[in-house]
């Protein structure tokens, strides 16, 4: 079984804080599907055996934070792009001022409670420099697909360890997210 585990990496990501949210079971393997199925069955059997054997201590499957592998180590995951619907984002050389203006309004309602436009951390990190720290698709994916990104993305997880509050999903429409990105660009000095 241990040998098999070398082929199949099972990662169970559990939020470190108490939060109303979903648990994601991410199975990452680039072997063929049949093999994957077999191994899942094998692993499940292992869990079942552990439970059946009366091992009902604190380290049950649901409470264990298995550090099998970090998401960054998975070749299928692009840490620059993040997880979400945005593969690439068209960003102009100059600022789209009306869009940035619209983004500013959304910022005031949905973001300003936790993020300053300076470098200062409030609840979440300050936004100054965010467009140079992350690529445009990563930002767009993070602000629209927040829960999955926090569960998966190494940078997002590192940030969570600092802030300890999972960023709420503010249910931004795609164009709202794009406007916010433009607002961030303006905040970072793009003209």
Distances (CA, A) of 94 to 90, 98, 117, 190: 12, 12, 20, 6
Q: Distance between CA atoms of 124 and 112, rounded to whole angstroms?
A: 10
From 165, 174, 175, 189, residue interacting with another protein (rule: CB under 8 A): 165
Q: How many residues does the chain have?
A: 191
**For the window 52-91, what string marks contact with another protein as x by the rule CB under 8 A?**
----------------------------------------
- DSSP single-letter state for residue 117: S
Please tell me the count of residues contacting another protein according to CB under 8 A.
21
From 28, 110, 128, 155, residue interacting with another protein (rule: CB under 8 A): 110
Provide Rg for the chain, Cα atoms.
20
Of 27 and 122, nearer to another protein (C-beta) is: 122
What does the binding site for another protein look like in residue numbers (CB under 8 A)?
16-20, 108-110, 112-114, 122-123, 164-166, 168-172
């Amino acid at each position: 079984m241990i040998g098999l585990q070398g082929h199949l990496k099972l990662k169970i990501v559990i939020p470190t804080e108490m939060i109303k949210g979903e648990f994601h079971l991410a199975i990452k393997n680039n072997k063929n599907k049949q093999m994957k199925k077999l191994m899942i069955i094998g692993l499940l059997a292992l869990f079942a055996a552990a439970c059946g054997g009366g091992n009902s201590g604190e380290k049950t499957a649901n409470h264990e934070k298995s550090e099998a592998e970090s998401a960054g180590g998975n070749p299928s995951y692009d840490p620059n792009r993040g997880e979400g619907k945005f593969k690439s984002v068209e960003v102009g050389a100059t600022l789209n001022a009306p869009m940035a203006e619209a983004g500013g309004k959304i910022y005031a309602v949905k973001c300003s409670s936790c993020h300053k436009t300076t470098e200062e951390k409030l609840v979440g990190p300050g936004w100054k420099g965010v467009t140079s720290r992350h690529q445009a698709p990563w930002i767009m994916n993070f602000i629209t697909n927040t829960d999955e990104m926090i569960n998966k993305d190494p940078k997002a997880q590192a940030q969570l360890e600092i802030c300890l509050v999972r960023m709420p999903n503010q249910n931004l429409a795609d164009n709202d997210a794009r406007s916010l990105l433009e607002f961030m660009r303006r905040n970072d000095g793009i003209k």
